[in-house]
Amino acid sequence: MPLLNIYHQKGKNNEYIKTCRDVIHKTLIDTWGIPEKDCFQIFHGVDKDHFFIDPQMWDMNRSSDTLVIHITSMPRTTDMKLAFYQALPAALEDAVGLNPDDVFISIVTNSAEDWSFGKGVAQLL
């Protein structure tokens, strides 16, 4: 069950957010094999004065459209992560015209005991 926090500069309309949500989720289904209903994404619109992503670090040409996608997940294989890293920028470019340099992904892993989906229960244990 990945939990995604997706940060962008304020000003994106609902259709853009919905399209990004759907593309990100489909890419996770395709590359990680997650279930279709396993969609937990929170979009955060951040004031441009509070959004500091270096535009050129790591040989990038980032714009103010950068999406920072922070994923908390159970462990995934290196191949799964690499497939996601490769597939998502291309899919977002096709869907919303986002420059692949503007797709910034961070993955943090945890264990089954680190999740409770409600009712005070650790459902993965």
Bridge partners, 107 (sequence order) = 71
Neighbours of 33 (CB within 10 A): 10
Q: Is 42 helix (H, G, I), strand (E, B) or coil?
A: strand
Tens digit of each residue's pLDDT, the chain (125 residues) = 899 999 999 999 999 999 999 999 999 999 999 999 999 999 999 999 999 999 999 999 999 999 999 999 999 999 999 999 999 999 999 999 999 999 999 999 999 999 999 999 999 99
Packing angle of the helix pair 14-32, 78-96 (nearest 10 deg): 150
